[in-house]
Amino acid sequence: MVKFATGEFGHLVLLAMFDCVDDTKLVKQAVLSEVLLSLDEVIGNKYGKKVLLYLLTPRDPAHLLPEIIKVLARGDGNTHSKKDMAVRRKELLEVVSPRCWSISTDSFTWPSTQQDTWMLKWLLEQDMTLAEAGKEERFSRILVDAVGTDKLKSWVKVNRGAMVLCSLLNSYEKSVAAEELRFLLENLNK
């Protein structure tokens, strides 16, 4: 599956599969489990990144060409599909999100690419969804604990890092936001 995810044309097959296959348990076991086992390799590949980004924000024109989005949209009226697309996407996202949390906090000192920035901002926005689902974990807390305040302090000096910090300050988890805002304001001029 990693060859599919990282292939120039194979990754498109996976995107179509995520949109069409109702049996999300099968997709999780046969596809996503293998992709997640080799997540470093997948993230390091431009097509593999598109697969993960598609799971996080399907058909986002920031990550896919309009022509590819049109081809994928052809399958939307599939009369054989019994599961709502939103339900299917949510079930697949539940598998990928926790692993993206851990890789994003471990893999870099600050967000160095637009995709890193976007992924961190998106994960921070998911704190609201987690709260609504009654879950205790919050990405904002995981980010602060995993990255540490010293590294976060250095993010202020980098445009992409500052954008993520703004998202952190606007996050659902107000205790984390208040704690970090106080810390950043105290250390801004140091």
Q: What distance in Å separates the CA atoms of residue 167 and residue 119, rounded to the nearest whole number?
A: 11
Query: How far is residue 46 CA from its own chain's centroid?
Result: 15
User: Which tens digit of pLDDT belongs to each residue from 19-51?
Assistant: 888 888 988 888 988 888 887 788 788 898 888
Q: What distance in Å separates the CA atoms of residue 102 and residue 117, rounded to the nearest whole number?
A: 15
Question: Half-sphere exposure of residue 123, counting CA atoms within 13 Å on the CB side?
Answer: 28
What is the rounded average pLDDT of the residues 45-71? 86
DSSP state of 61: T
Contacts of residue 4, Cβ cutoff 8 Å, sequence gap at least 6: 10, 11, 13, 14, 31
Which contiguous run of DSSP H or E holds residue 157? none
What's the whole-model pTM score? Answer: 0.60
User: Which tens digit of pLDDT belongs to each residue from 87-105?
Assistant: 888 888 877 776 665 555 4
Question: Half-sphere exposure of residue 166, counting CA atoms within 13 Å on the CB side?
Answer: 9
